[in-house]
Structure 1
Amino acid sequence: MNSPSFRQEFAEFFRYIRRPALSPRKPSRGGGNGWWKDWAPATSLGRMLQWAGCLWVINIFVFAPIALLVANKTGAAHRIDINNIPFLTAVLWAPVAEELLFRYSLRRPQLSFWLIPLMAWVVITGPELHSIVLLLLVLMLIVMLDVWRLTTNEHALKWRWRVHYRKFFPLVFHGSVLVFAGLHLWNFRFGEINWWLLPLLVLPQWFTGMVLGWMRVRDGISTSIFLHMIFNSGPILLVWFLLQFSPELATT
């Protein structure tokens, strides 16, 4: 089977977000729900780079100007010090912790009752020693539950609950994306607050979250994590490059 072109995949994504569903999975992924399939991406690095590039272009030229306009209107300022960007936090910690919090349980709804509270605490706490240990323990437990086949996939739900979950999955999917985007409002300090404008500040995270959610559902959690890592690394490497060779541009 020939792999679809990026244009075909892009069109597939827009069809999906109109009506998110738990199926079909990506054909090259194969059937079954083994833990190795969730953690071994079926999307190539080249295709992930294409998606990251697409997200950068759309966010920079479509959503970023809107967010900048709103920031000027509300007096919002980013909390991150451009001269002291936490590279490892943005490229390693945030993708793993945020994907487990917002997207892992999309296909493992039984785990959401304990996974989401634990991962919310991990994300809020940040990369401290105790939260890193907890994150590692959560990862080990997830794999163990999947290996032992203990209520870790949607097919283990009782039939009536599975029917309900599939019915309301579009709300679950888009709800997780909105909460993911809303979390990034904490990256700003606000002056004059016009609450109705605030969602426009996180349009880039909203659109990126939909792509990451789609990747997680059709391929696996590892694909959304790796794409998240690549996506975060691009702007940070660009800022680092500017700070090294053209600091006046980075601080304007």
Structure 2
Amino acid sequence: MVAENITDDILRRIALEHRAGRRLLVMTTNLDTQRAVVWNIGAMADSGSQHALALVRQVLVASASVPGILPPVSIKAVVDGKEIEELHSDGGSSAQFFTLPEQLIIAPRAKGKEKLHIYVIINNALIPEFAMSPERAFPIMARAYAILLKTHTRQGLMALYNFAQHSDVDLDIASIDAQVPYSMTDPLNHHYMTSVYLIGYRRTVANRLWVKRPLFTKAGFRQAGEL
């Protein structure tokens, strides 16, 4: 799917947007170093390297390779003049969203700087979602991993919210606020994708998309079709 959609023409268009000042950043997790890696896809597209297209495709596949579900991607790199191969997987293992480097999140904001306004879109529900887990290894592992990701997201949002409060930063957050049936084994399910799109569309039209603080509970859960 990545090879079909990320073509030479798409790469040229990304390069043009990069030259216009826009940045396309994609995050993976380096399993060898236990570090998040933020790839500047625009710079890669604009590099003129004959390997740029293949590398961009590798990064995109790695960024979607959920550990335990999909295999990591081996990416060649040069360290101290030596070529090595690194294993990269889903960036969500490091952080569920990328706003600022950790050093800036925990550092006091320097006065006199231009005021920041951060928008965070969470393609997940922050509210608890009830589901019966079959007593089989894979469904239980998938459910546990989903809980881990949700907890990781919530902690990241709380840290960002506290940073915004103490640093006079405007913060707007959007997430899925309804329980929509979802399976990690079928992430591109048409019904699921359509349902979550309609949630965002209807909330945008009603001017109710953005909230100023993370909301982790919601009284009276609604099904997506009841919005």
Which TM bucket (shorter chain)? under 0.3
Higher percent of residues as strand: 2
Higher percent of residues as helix: 1
TM-score, length-scaled by structure 2: 0.26
TM-score, length-scaled by structure 1: 0.24
Structure with bigger RCO (C-alpha 8 Å, 6+ apart)? 1
